[in-house]
Structures are given as structure tokens and as C-alpha cells.
Structure 1
Amino acid sequence: MAPNRTVLVVILIAFVAVLIVIHLNSSTLMSQLNQVKKLTLAVEHEEQEVHALLQKIPPVQEIHENKGFAKPGEASPKEEFERLWNYVYTMQYNCSHGEYLGGKPENGDGAYWLCSEPRFWPRETDKDYKCLMYSFGVGGDFTFDDEIANRGCEVHSFDPTENLEDGHVRESGVTFHKIGISATDTDKDGNGWKMRTLKTLIKDLGHNGRYIDYLKMDTESYEEGLMQQVLDNDLAKCVRHYAQEIHLWGPISSPDKLAKCRHLYRAMTQLNDHGWRLYNTTDNCRWLQSPDPHARQVQVKPSMVNSGNAILWETMFVNFAATEPCKVE
């Protein structure tokens, strides 16, 4: 009988052990299920917030002055130029809170607008938010970049023409890179400059998983190229602000100048499709105002199609569909 009793005790102990294991596994399983449920609810909530955000994007109003023109890319040089002109002077959003920052005291050259509404500038309400800015084209003027850095942002300024050491850090905290923006990566282009794509810079600087809160472009050219890189690399959804100085050279009747005119319009309207809205355009007539302080951009307009004049616009966009941080491979 003793052996049988021993067997029964062993069986009973084993049975209790199984019950304990089942209980423990059940508790772990329930905990894991609860975690999955919480994660699912969080994802659903985020999706609802993104959906609600996208529903609030203001529509782009039709520009009546462009009615009757041939299709973009197929119209005459005159119509393509008129289409672009009408576009840059038709605001798509009215920023309720912001300010001009930086620029030269004597004429404001180099100043740009910051729309500090919280949805476009999270630091307005969250001082712990780590904002990020890329600025292409310094031209000896760091004033705007310094202003953004002084507001607690990580700022990277790029210009291969500046007589500064690569990696130089300014008193404001701005980090300078002796690198230019280009469609391809090269350590030495035709000018002897180191050039990188936007995608490569995001990856090399360790900014994968970050939003670019302000992207500024003023390199005397290539603004349409940078916009195209944003579009081609699916980065439109991770940029909150975009400011650029458009350099449009005449004569627009020249094939290469016409191609740039068309590309500028196409890129900006494609960014509109991604939730970007133009909220500020400034005439940069400062180059005209040396001989005539009362000069205005419209004075150059009639001669743009058939002469070698130039028009400079500073255009600024905010992004209503900045829904995901930058991701590049």
C-alpha cells in the first residue's frame, strides 16, 4: 500500500504543479492579451487622429485667372509664366500666429516667416519637443538659422561655398556642413564641392525617425530639385514647414528656362496634393532696389518671357498632413 500511496502523492504533486503552471501561463497570457488590446486601441486612436487631421486640410481654391490656359506642361511660355505668377500670389492658408525672423537690418534680406501655430510648430506648446531644421544655402547669413536654434531647435546649415570648416558649431548651436544639396551623392562635383541628396543627409546625420520641422532652401537654384526629392522619397509627410527662394530667370521662351518654370509649378502643386499649403509669398526686390528703392517685382514681369531678367520669390508652406516621421533606407 505504501508504494501506491507514494505514487498518489507524486501524482497529486504533479497535478498541483500543472495547475500552478496553467495559472501562471494564464496570467501571463491575459497580461499579454491586455497589452495587445491596449496597443490596438492606441493604434486605432492614432489612426482616428490622423484621419481627423487630414479632414481639416483647407482646399486649394481654383485660380480663376488661369482658366482658359492650355494644360500645364503644354502651354506657351507666356501662359506657363502667367500660371506660375498667379499661383505664387494666391495664398492657400492664413497663418494666425507667426513672425519674420532673421535677415539683414538694412533691408530684411535673409528673413523668413515662421508659422508658430502648434500643429506646425510643436514647441509652441511643448518646450521639451526636439525640433529639427535643415537649411540649404547660407550665403554668409546665418541670422534665420540662429533664430531657430535660439528657440531650442537642432539646426543644420549646408553650404559648400562658405569659407568655414565642415562641422563648425556656432554660438547659437547651429551646426555647419560644407556640403551642398544635389540629385546625386558625390565627394567632388564640377565645382569641387561635396554634394549629397536629402535622403543621404537624413540617413548620415542619424535623423531617421524624426520630423523635419523646418526645411529652408536658398541656393540660387535647384529649389525645384529639392521639392522633387521630397516627393520622390516619400518625405512630404515628415516636413512641417518649407521655405524657399525661387530664382526664376528669363527669357522663359528659352527651353531650359521654360522647363524650370514648368517644374516649379508642377512640384508645388504636387506638394499641395500631399497637404502642403502656401501661406506666404514675399517679393525679393532687394537686388532691384539698389538703383531704384521703389522698384517692384511687377515692373520686371512684362519682359520675363522674352528677355534675360529675373524674378525672385520667397515662398513658404505649412504641411497639414505631417503624419509620419522621416524614414529613409
Structure 2
Amino acid sequence: MGNWPVCFDDNLVPKNNCLVYSFGINYDFRFDDAMAAIGCIVYSFDPSMLDTADHKRGDRVFFKRIGISDKDDDRFVPRVDDYVKKRPAVKGWPMRRLQTILDLLGHRKEQLTVLKLDIEGYEWDVTRDLLDSGILSSVPQFLVEWHLFRDFPPRERVPDAVDTYFRLRDMGFQLFVTGGLYQGFRSGTSFRIQAEVAYLNTKKN
């Protein structure tokens, strides 16, 4: 849908009765608008869009200028890399754990149908938190873009990232699409590997 794969087999995404959280927009709402077009309610999140206030985008898409993290933090300062070219002009970004966001929006008792993360390297810590808390076990579809940079995650955290990757499989998340593969090198100073991956929660479906 839009620029992300979604599985519609066996009514996995009930039309006119689905809730989607999309983290990481960078002004590209193709996925969000496409999911809204089939009747889903979509919440789009991106703390880096500093010139964009919270607003309702059409009938079914709601933008929130906050990000997802493994901890609640009102003054998160992102690392500078190929995505964040300079530190934010404001005093950090507002970040929240998924369970905090669900509570803030009144969705704790609702079924989150699709969760999408495109958060430029921070997905490792966030996914680990989602697994540790057990909250991901209730989500039928999980879409994520994995990133590896030359220095991020830090070398000492790479084993944790590998563990997180395989824990998804052990928790019943089955990969059904891999795409957007990219490798980037720049004169020994920059290195990046990324891949867009879509999972089905076989224990939920």
C-alpha cells in the first residue's frame, strides 16, 4: 500500500475497521493515505518535521509530531547522520513508548492492525522494548526498515540487535516481504545498510 507492503489475506486488514500507526514520515504520506483510502484510521508520527504541527490530514489520517522510543523523553536529541543533517533547533524531540502513545490517544483497548517503523536506526531499541513489554504480540502486522550504520548501533550493542532480530522469529513473526535493500559507502566516513521488512504475527492471525 503506497510504498509499503501489507498482507490482506484472510481479512487481516478489516476494511473500515482497522487502526494503523505509522512512525517515520519525512513528509511522505503515501502509505498513510493508501491505508486511509481503504477505510483505516491512520496516525502518522514524526518528531523531525519541525515545521509541521499536529493536524488532521483528510478524514482518516492524523499527524502527531512525536516519535516512538524505548523510553518517554521530552528532550531527545538525535544523532547527526545521513538522515538528520543537523541537531534540531528546538530543545530536543518529544518521544514516547508505544504503550504511552496508546494511552494518550485512547487506543489501549483497541486493536492496532498494522504498526510501521521507519525510524533510522532507533528501531532496534524500540523493537526490543516492544518485545520485552509484550505489546507487539497483539499486533497482526509489523513493518520495519532495519538500518545498520558504521557506528550505530554502537559495536557493543550489535549483539543486542541480532538478538532482537531473531526474537521476532521466535515470537511467531514470519517475514513475508523484504525490499528496499540499500548499501551506501562514502570515502570510508559513511556506511549504511538498510532493508524494508514486513512480518505477519502467526500467533495472532
**Normalization by structure 2: what TM-score?**
0.83
Matched position secondary structure for 1:194: strand
Give % identity. 34
Match of 2:39 in 1: 152
Distance 1:215 1:259 in 2: 24
Does the 8 A contact of 2:45 with 2:64 survive in 1? yes
Matched position secondary structure for 1:169: strand
1:205-284 paired onto structure 2 within 5 Å: 205-250=105-150, 256-257=154-155, 259-260=157-158, 262-284=159-181
Question: Which residue, 199, 202, 205 being the options, matches 1:317?
Answer: 199
Shift, 1:189, TM fit: 2.6
Does the 8 A contact of 2:99 with 2:108 survive in 1? no
Cα RMSD of the aligned pairs, angstroms, is 2.3
Opposite residue 154 of structure 2, the aligned amino acid is D
CA radius of gyration, larger in: 1
Matched position secondary structure for 2:20: strand
Distance 1:307 1:149 in 2: 40
Does the 8 A contact of 1:146 with 1:172 survive in 2? no
Cα distance change on mapping 1:150 and 1:119 into 2, 3 Å: closer
1:100-249 paired onto structure 2 within 5 Å: 101-102=1-2, 111-118=3-10, 120-121=12-13, 123=14, 127=15, 130-162=17-49, 163-166=51-54, 168-171=55-58, 173-190=60-77, 191=88, 192-249=92-149
Give deviations 1:39-87, integer Å, cap 9, x for gaps. xxxxxxxxxxxxxxxxxxxxxxxxxxxxxxxxxxxxxxxxxxxxxxxxx
Unaligned regions of 5+ residues in structure 2, if any?
Answer: 78-87
Does the 8 A contact of 2:121 with 2:153 survive in 1? no
1:69-80 paired onto structure 2 within 5 Å: none
Shift, 1:268, TM fit: 2.3
The number of residues matched between the two structures is 189
Distance 1:182 1:120 in 2: 27
Give deviations 1:74-101, integer Å, cap 9, x for gaps. xxxxxxxxxxxxxxxxxxxxxxxxxxx2
Matched position secondary structure for 2:39: coil
Cα distance change on mapping 1:255 and 1:207 into 2, 3 Å: closer
1:279-290 paired onto structure 2 within 5 Å: 279-285=176-182
Does the 8 A contact of 1:239 with 1:319 survive in 2? yes
Give deviations 1:102-144, integer Å, cap 9, x for gaps. 2xxxxxxxx11011112532x1xxx45x211111111110110
Shift, 1:308, TM fit: 4.1
Unaligned regions of 5+ residues in structure 1, if any?
Answer: 1-100, 103-110, 286-296, 324-329
Give deviations 1:168-217, integer Å, cap 9, x for gaps. 01125210001011222122333521111111001111111222111111
Match of 2:85 in 1: none
Distance 2:143 2:76 in 1: 26
Distance 1:158 1:216 in 2: 10
Distance 1:255 1:144 in 2: 27
Matched position secondary structure for 1:268: helix
Which structure has more helix as a fraction of its residues?
1
**Normalization by structure 1: what TM-score?**
0.53
Distance 1:263 1:269 in 2: 10
